[in-house]
Amino acid sequence: MTLYEKLMKNKQSTRWKKVVAENLDLDYCEKFLNLSEATALMDYMENNVQYLDGRLTQVKVFGVYHPIPRQQVAFGDVGVTYKFSGTVIAAQPWPQPVLELKKKISSERGINYNFVLVNRYRNGDDHMGEHRDDEPELDKMIPIASVSLGQTRKFVLKHGDVKKKLRKVENIKLDLHHGSLLFMNWPTNEYWYHSIPKEKAATKVRLNFTFRKIK
Ligand SMILES: O=C(O)CCC(=O)C(=O)O
């Protein structure tokens, strides 16, 4: 390896923070997109994208439909759908800037993601409850890649044994910043629940993209 290659490898590895705990494995890069790239993508999304409406804004919990406390839309390859919480979301065609983002992430890990779910949190009242992305159509060995834009929000991971009140395990908390990328690696999603809790102090819009590989 030449000195230049060593320096580049080192630069690359210092951009990434590894977070590990029992059966949890995350890779976080705070500035995956630089400020102008992140802001341009946010502006594009805010000015061009329409979020889903009607029945598709509801999820089924214990047999009852509830409105989701945020906005959603999905993009992906032709014909790909994603089924969760009693809802089937069909991918709309990739907008060019989202396709560019997908390519940038895909080249980071050599994974050809075929679907992205976009969540829009209007302010700190919008949130996402504790859940695992454990749907059977997801290839669980392939990490979910999560890009955040706009308002920084706290991402909280809770071990399944804590949810079941079996034992104490410390929660893991991460601030997800504008332009950041988080990889949730196997087996995190099998053992840990994640959420974006309400945050009073958060007043601005946040967008989150979770790139997935649907079988
Ligand atoms: O908004 C986030 O960072 C979390 C999104 C999420 O948990 C999901 O799409 O399953």
Residue range 26-49, pLDDT digits in tens: 999 999 999 999 999 999 999 999
Q: What is the pLDDT of residue 53?
A: 85
Q: Residues 123-144, buried b or exposed e (16+ Cβ, 10 A)?
A: ebebbbebeebeeeebebebbb
Q: What is the 78 CA–ligand 1 centroid distance (Å)?
A: 23
Q: Does ligand 1 come within 6 angstroms of the Cβ of 117? A: yes
Q: What is the pLDDT of residue 110?
A: 93
Q: How far apart are CA 120 and CA 74, in angstroms?
A: 11
Q: What is the pLDDT of residue 71?
A: 96
Q: How far apart are CA 175 and CA 173, in angstroms?
A: 7
- State the amino acid at position 24 in one-letter form: L
Classify residue 202 as left (phi > 0), alpha (psi -120 to 50) or beta.
Answer: beta
Q: What is the pTM of this model?
A: 0.92
Residue from 146, 161, 138 nearest 195 by CA: 146
Q: Does ligand 1 come within 6 angstroms of the Cβ of 155? A: yes
Ligand 1 atom nearest residue 176's Cα: 3
Q: What is the pLDDT of residue 165?
A: 96
| Residues in the chain, pLDDT under 70 | 4-13
CATH architecture, range 16-212? Sandwich (2.60)
Residue range 136-157, pLDDT digits in tens: 999 989 999 999 999 999 999 9
Q: What is the pLDDT of residue 8?
A: 63
Phi then psi for residue 204, to 5 deg, are -105, 170
Ligand 1 atom nearest residue 206's Cα: 1
Placement of tokens 């601005």 in the chain = 204
Q: What is the pLDDT of residue 4?
A: 66
Q: What is the pLDDT of residue 7?
A: 63
Q: Does ligand 1 come within 6 angstroms of the Cβ of 133? A: yes
